[in-house]
Amino acid sequence: MNEEAIQGLKPERVWHFFREISAIPRGSKNEKAVLEYIKKTATSMGLKSKQDKVGNVVVFKPASLGKEGSPVVVLQVHTDMVCEKNREVRHDFLKDGIKFHREGDFLKADGTTLGSDDGIGVASLLSLLEDKSLVHGPIEGLFTIDEETGLTGANHVEPGFITGSVMMNLDSEDEGVLYIGCAGGLDTTMTVPVKRKAVTGKVVSLKIMIRGLKGGHSGVDIHLGRANALKLMTRTLLELDRKVKMKLVSLEGGSKHNAIPREAEATIVVPQAEEAKVTEVAADCEKIFKNAFNSIEPDVKVVVEKGRKAKQAFDDKSKTAVLDFLNGIPHGVIRMSSDIPDLVETSTNLAVMKTAAAGVTVVTSQRSSIESEKEMIASVVASVGKLAGAKIKPSDGYPGWQPNVNSSVLAKAKDVYSTLYGKEPEVKAIHAGLECGIINDRVGGGVDTISFGPTIIGPHSPDERVDVGSVDKFYRFLIEMVKAVA
């Protein structure tokens, strides 16, 4: 199946390595096996490597003959991948390899994330390290861990672990675009305490579900106006609360701080006589959402099912506090950049909600390319929490990567790209967090940095697919860049 999917694709060794690493489960915080594979592969290529305490690996490829005095170049990729699947798909991300197939010009997984983010980067770096025909200066191939759920690897790179003065990050997602800056981010986690009361009388438990949304990456897709399942759930519950005698039992939804939530569930209790009314209100809400999100979320569904019998539910005061809290939390783009066209400057993602004994916890995630605005939006979100009496826990966050339009590696990259493909590359900053900002910070700054990659659509969701032609173009550009810097 996988073998067939990559048959005839170029560059052959990149796809070979992609197939190999796809067979190794490598969700975030589960990178041990893939790192062993990388070290073993480096050894078999006759290359030295070293590993730090958290697991990051650097592989050293000495300069080709006569290029020993060239600048040391760091090529950087992350080894982990986001694990998301469609509900009906059976897949154990701890045990099963990723299965994929061709769809026209794209490679796509069978109902799971593909891991082309950043698996193509990993495979390309391995292929480049293997290539003995290349003209190049000293190369440090840096493979980091856990980019997707905390940038842990980047945050723990020790000064001196890498020594390069030029860094190329291979983890962006538009072929033909050079990235020169990214957003910083932080998470704000808040718990609203709830009081519960015993459920009495002739009642029925119902499960309300929001389904069929597209989701996506909170850095890459936040400006697309996709619906947030947690927000739609809140609207549905507020509507129900106006129309029936509803008790709230639990709320769940979303899975990752950096994913726009696709699904949400709530359990409610209503008088038996009002069960039909709930179905009616849910259908009305579905219509309203279909109309409002129109072509963007054509498959949105509000589903009602019989729920598990509940012994306890939130008291009315807690119910109101929780719903107002969820309704008040901002979500989406806060401001676009006035300097760089189409760049989202500041945004916030209402990412996860969970119910536990202590109350309802939400995870939200803020981003901005401007440090002060990152702090501003985090404080807005926290204020909503304060009004609801929530316990608030901000994370430390990570710094952004300030664009430098006078970078010399950028000038080289523009030249190389135009010569190779006969057109100017675009130069952009990205709203997602890239590791290069942090790594630069960790090693004392001043590393001339650029980021580029193949075209990946829908990363972090089961719709993820990589444009196979763009992988070839990306890889040829990478090879030429390594030559040009030497």
Active site residues: 80, 147
CA 462, distance to chain mean position in Å, is 12
For Zn ion, the binding residues in 209-238 under the rule CB under 5 A are none
* Total residues interacting with Zn ion, rule: CB under 5 A: 3
Q: Which is nearer to Zn ion, 80 or 252 (CB)?
A: 80
- CA 52 – CA 58 distance, rounded (Å): 9
- CA 215 – CA 87 distance, rounded (Å): 14
Strand partners, 364: 188, 350
CB of 460 to Zn ion, least distance (A): 8
Order of strands, sheet of 448-451, starting from the edge strand that comes earlier in the sequence: 48-51, 57-61, 139-144, 73-78, 166-169, 448-451, 177-182, 426-430
Q: Which is nearer to Zn ion, 114 or 285 (CB)?
A: 114
Q: Which is nearer to Zn ion, 148 or 373 (CB)?
A: 148
Instruction: With CA atoms as reference, report the closest residue to 38 among 117, 146, 125, 99.
Output: 125
CB of 277 to Zn ion, least distance (A): 46
- CA 436 – CA 169 distance, rounded (Å): 6
- Beta-carbon contacts of residue 212 (< 8 Å; ≥ 6 apart): 297, 299, 300, 301
Q: Which is nearer to Zn ion, 49 or 144 (CB)?
A: 144
CB of 369 to Zn ion, least distance (A): 18
17-49 in b/e burial notation, b at 16+ Cβ within 10 A?
bbbbbbebbbbbebbeebbebbbebbeeeebeb
For Zn ion, the binding residues in 335-374 under the rule CB under 5 A are none
CB of 446 to Zn ion, least distance (A): 24
- Residue span 104-143 as binding mask against Zn ion, x where in contact by CB under 5 A, dash where not: -------------xx-------------------------
Is residue 435 part of the contact set for Zn ion (CB under 5 A)? Answer: no
Single residue of 171, 286, 297, 467 touching Zn ion by CB under 5 A: 171
Structure tokens at 225: 């106006």
- Strand ranges for 262-300 from DSSP E: 264-271
CB of 171 to Zn ion, least distance (A): 4
Q: Which is nearer to Zn ion, 117 or 175 (CB)?
A: 117
Chain residues in the site for Zn ion (CB under 5 A): 117-118, 171
